[in-house]
Amino acid sequence: MMIVMNTEATQDQINTILARIEANGFKAHISKGEERTVIGVLGNNPIVIREQFVYMPGIERIVPISRPYKIASREFIPQNTVFPLDGIQIGGDQVIIMAGPCAVEGRSQLLEAALAVKEAGAQVLRGGAYKPRTSPYSFQGLGEEGLEILAEARQVTGLPVVTEVMAPELVPLVTKYADVLQIGARNMQNFALLHAAGESQHPVLLKRGNAATIEELLMAAEYILSHGNQRVILCERGIRTFETATRNTTDINAVPVLKTLTHLPVILDPSHSTGHWEFVTPVARAAIAAGADGLIVEVHPNPLEALSDGGQSLKPERFAEMVHQVRAIARDLGRC
C-alpha cells in the first residue's frame, strides 16, 4: 500500500510513520515529490495493517497498490523515471541509441565499432565481455580483457558503456568498468544476480526473458528496485513464439504496455528480436513509433567475420542510415 502524506506533513510525522512501518516488519520506500511525500509500504500483505496507520497525523490517504510489483508501478510513481548518464538523460525526451558489437572480440574490432557508432550518433556503446552462449563450444567472450578494451573505447569516444554481467560474484568487477550493467534475457530471473545488481546501486539494463511475461519482467525489476536502486532500464528483446521465420518475435505491444504499467524507461533490441540484419531497421522504426525511449542495436565493422550474432549485426553505414530514420520519427513525435 501507499501512504500519501498531506502537503503540510512534518518530518516528525513522517519519521513516526517510518518507525511504525519498521516495527511491523515492513520496508518503507520514500518518494519525495515537490508538494508531498509518498511512502510505499512493502511486504507480504500490507493491506492487513492499514488500520494501524489510518488515523496517524499527516496522512492524506492510504491507497492500495493493486499490482504485484510496487515500486515499479505507475500507481506508485506516476511520473517517468529520468536519470542522467554521462551527460545524457535516460527516459527523457531524448531517444537513446546504444550500439556496438554483440561481443568484444579484440581491441581493433571494438575501437573501430565504437568510433563508427559514435560518428553515426549513438550515445552509448554496447559490447559483451561475458557472453551467455547457447553452446559451450561457441566463443564465450574475452572476460576482464574485454572489459579493459571497453574502458579504453569509452576514453577514446566519450561514450558510456553497457555490458553484460552473468553472475553475482562478477558484479563488483563489471561495475568497475561499465556505466550500465546489462542483465541478459537468460538471467532475467537469476534472483541472486538481481539482488547483487540492486545492491550495487549501478544503472541496470534488464532484458526480458524470451519466455517471460511482462509481469514477470516487472517483478524482476522490482527485485532491483527493492534494494534501493532506482536506475533500471527495461528492454524488450523478442519472445519465443510458434513463428520460426525470425529468431524471436518482437512483442511490439510490450512497449506501450510497459509505458502504461511502469514509470521505468523502456528500450527495444531490434537485433535479438529479429535475428536478421535486414529486419533490424524496420523494427527499430516501429519501436520508436510505439513510444520506446531508446534502442540497443548490434553493429559490427565486418559482420561476416563476427564471432557472435554476425547475421543480425548492422554494418556501420547501415546503422548510420537507421539512426537517421529513427531520429526523424522521434522528431515527428516531439522527441529528439
Please, which of residues 302-321 interact with Mn ion by CB under 5 A?
A: 309
Which residue minimizes CB distance to ligand PEP?
184
Among 41, 181, 185, 204, binds ligand PEP (CB under 6 A): 185
The conformation of residue 73, written as its DSSP 8-state character, comes to B
Return the closest-CA partner of residue 186 out of 163, 208, 202, 201: 208
Question: In which residue are the cell numbers 550493467 written?
Answer: 181
Phi, psi of 37 (to 5 degrees): -100, 140
Contact of 163 with 177, CB cutoff 8 Å:
yes
CB of 250 to ligand PEP, least distance (A): 12
Phi, psi of 35 (to 5 degrees): -100, -35
CB of 198 to ligand PEP, least distance (A): 19
Please, which of residues 270-309 interact with Mn ion by CB under 5 A?
A: 309
Check residue 102 for interaction with ligand PEP (CB under 6 A). yes
132 binds, among Mn ion, ligand PEP, none (CB under 5 to 8 A by kind): ligand PEP
Q: Which stretch binds ligand PEP (CB under 6 A): 63-71, 73-81, 170-178, 184-192?
A: 184-192
Check residue 220 for interaction with ligand PEP (CB under 6 A). no
Please, which of residues 113-152 interact with ligand PEP by CB under 6 A?
A: 128, 132
Q: Which stretch binds ligand PEP (CB under 6 A): 5-13, 150-158, 181-189, 211-219?
A: 181-189
DSSP string, 213-261: -HHHHHHHHHHHHTTT---EEEEE--B--S--SSSSB--TTHHHHHHHH
CB of 87 to ligand PEP, least distance (A): 24
Neighbour-count burial of 232, counting CB atoms closer than 10 A to its CB (0-12 exposed, 13-18 middle, 19+ buried): buried
CB of 102 to ligand PEP, least distance (A): 5
* Rounded Cα distance, 227 and 82, in Å: 18
CB of 269 to ligand PEP, least distance (A): 6
* Rounded Cα distance, 261 and 304, in Å: 40
Footprint on this chain of ligand PEP (rule: CB under 6 A):
102, 128, 132, 184-186, 207, 237, 269, 272
Binding site for Mn ion (CB under 5 A): 102, 309
